[in-house]
Amino acid sequence: MSRLLDQVLIMLGREPQKGGAISERAQRVHELKRLTNKEELKAMREKVHAEKIYTHKWRNRRWIALIVANLLFVVSYHFDVQLLEGALTASRFVGFHLIDLNSALQVMLAHKHIIVNLVIGTATIFVGWLLLGGRTFCSWVCPYHLLAEFAEKLHLKLAANKLVSDQNINRWLRTVFWAIFALLAAATGYTVYEAISPTGILSRALIYGPGLALLWVLALLVFEVFFVRRAWCRYACPIGLTYGVVGIFSPLRVKYRLDPCLHEGDCRKVCLVPHVLDTVIKGRATDTEVPIGPDCTRCGLCVDACPTGALTFDVKGLSKLL
């Protein structure tokens, strides 16, 4: 329970804490790694990097899934297929109502009235993302995430040439924004966040055509390129926090194994939310197998980047049955 509470607090904005109870088996592994000669460790890292074949397997799968999911809306609307009607915020899939959890919360707070279809659509989405891991939505479905990935690549190139520098922002800010938008909805009777949500704006633009609201999305991307890497997803978006809460008890997660890890740090370099990978830092892991926390987007970038296979996708309880 203490570990779960710690993961929730980290998701809300607290920085990962050093120390904590470390299991005996993890202590033995840590001790063996401390005894490893630095030159020997360096040679091991070079060897695994030389043998590693970088395929971007999970990234490519994720991009395909994200593009297909959003194109389903476009095709259904333009060809009147009536397979998937609406947009990401609210839709119907072959007659089943599907409503984004954060959007549903905003509507209920704004109108102070619960509609039956709203409950049904919300429950369907809740169960689906509970099984898949809440923030999986962010990296596998959200169209802004894909654009932000390309903006991030440009930011990193500029940073490598010392043309820009990344500014760190307190992660509690996302929780503050979540509370502000909830209070605004309740106080004004209007879903304020939906008017500026880049996820909703892009989804509607793809389906119904572009509008002036895309200038706001462009401004966010420019800000991320020149000032703060992944600013919206890391420090502002309430959707990510809502789905993170849903994913607390999700069986699907990324699992870290201490034994094969060489602590070279490639995984943290590519991670959208590197605070969830604090456990991979040398000496930090509290056990030989550690599930990554609910703020993880399950994007698979760390799994692709890890040269030793220390990070893998895992279904809770299933690995013990195999």
**What whole-number distance in Å separates Cα of residue 232 and Cα of residue 309?**
30
For 311, phi then psi, to 5°, come to -115, 125
**What whole-number distance in Å separates Cα of residue 209 and Cα of residue 203?**
10
**What whole-number distance in Å separates Cα of residue 220 and Cα of residue 228?**
10
In order of 139, 158, 200, 262, the CA distances from 222 in angstroms are: 20, 13, 19, 36
pTM of the model: 0.92
Cβ atoms 235, 167 nearer than 8 A: no
**What whole-number distance in Å separates Cα of residue 219 and Cα of residue 216?**
5
Does 206 score more than 90 pLDDT? yes
pLDDT digits (tens, 9 = 90+) for 148-192: 999 999 999 999 999 998 888 999 999 999 999 999 999 999 999
**pLDDT value of residue 41:** 81
**pLDDT value of residue 25:** 93
pLDDT digits (tens, 9 = 90+) for 30-49: 998 888 878 888 888 888 88
**pLDDT value of residue 118:** 78
pLDDT digits (tens, 9 = 90+) for 44-84: 888 888 888 888 999 999 999 999 999 999 999 998 887 88
Does 322 score more than 50 pLDDT? no
Q: How far apart are the first and last CA of the chain?
A: 26
Domain boundaries, the chain: 2-9+20-51+251-315, 59-245
98 forms beta bridges with 91
% of the chain surpassing 70 pLDDT: 98
pLDDT digits (tens, 9 = 90+) for 299-313: 999 999 999 999 999
The identity of residue 219, as a single letter, is: A
Cβ atoms 135, 294 nearer than 8 A: yes
290 forms beta bridges with 256
The tokens describing 253, both together, are 């997660």
The identity of residue 301, as a single letter, is: L
pLDDT digits (tens, 9 = 90+) for 256-285: 999 999 998 999 999 999 999 999 999 999
Average confidence score pLDDT of the chain: 91
Does 20 score more than 80 pLDDT? no
**pLDDT value of residue 321:** 43
Does 117 score more than 90 pLDDT? no
Give mean pLDDT, residues 201-205. 96
% of the chain surpassing 90 pLDDT: 69
The torsion angle over the Cα atoms of residues 184, 14, 286 and 53, rounded to 10 degrees, is 80
